[in-house]
């Protein structure tokens, strides 16, 4: 994925709730690589994803951020075959209510890669740039050679 390129995991076998364009009940997230180790996703949450009235469910916030952090971890892999990465640790920090029906910006950044581990950070922001939810994670490669 080149900088500026929008990335969709369009494999017909991909049934992922977060990123598959083939899952009619999923979020169908699309990511753009915005830097060497960063990705961005624009997302507007529908009303059926509510937790509290008018607020995006916390589990959906976690899902969106987990997807973004996984995509950020994948920025380390150029044109080679898709690596098998899994979430090993995940922390979420709810700062402000995330509104439904308003454009949101989801950001992910690869902070560091150590052997098979990829340390990433991300956030859900309002369109004005206000941090609403923060996340940190460690993703682990479970196939192929390590990469640092």
Whether the pLDDT of residue 80 is over 60: the answer is no
Quote the mean pLDDT of the chain: 90
- Band the pLDDT of 117: cuts 50, 70, 90: very high
* pLDDT for the residue numbered 18: 79
119-143 residue pLDDT tens: 999 999 999 999 999 999 999 999 8
* pLDDT for the residue numbered 145: 60
19-40 residue pLDDT tens: 878 888 888 899 999 999 999 9
- Give the integer Cα–Cα distance in Å for 62 and 135: 8
Q: Decide: helix, strand or coil at residue 32.
A: strand
Average pLDDT over residues 75-84: 72
* pLDDT for the residue numbered 81: 62
Claim: this prediction has a pTM higher than 0.95: no
The residue ranking higher by pLDDT, 84 or 133, is: 133
Listed in sequence order, the residues at least 6 apart from 17 whose beta carbon sits closer than 8 Å to its beta carbon are: 23, 25, 26, 27, 63
* pLDDT for the residue numbered 95: 98
Taken in order of first residue, the domains within the chain and their CATH numbers are: 6-141 (3.10.129.10)
């Amino acid at each position: 994925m080149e900088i500026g390129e929008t990335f969709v995991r369009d494999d017909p076998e991909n049934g992922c709730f977060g990123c598959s364009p083939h899952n009619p009940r999923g979020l169908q997230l699309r990511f753009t690589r915005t830097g060497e180790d960063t990705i961005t996703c624009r997302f507007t949450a529908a009303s059926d994803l509510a937790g509290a009235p008018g607020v995006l469910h916390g589990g959906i916030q976690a899902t969106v951020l987990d997807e973004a952090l996984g995509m950020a971890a994948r920025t380390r892999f150029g044109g080679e075959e898709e690596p098998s990465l899994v979430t090993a640790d995940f922390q979420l920090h709810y700062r402000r209510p995330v509104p439904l029906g308003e454009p949101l910006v989801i950001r992910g950044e690869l902070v560091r890669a150590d052997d098979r581990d990829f340390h990433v950070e991300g956030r859900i922001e309002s369109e004005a740039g206000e941090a609403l939810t923060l996340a940190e994670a460690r993703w682990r490669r479970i196939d192929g050679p390590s990469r640092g």
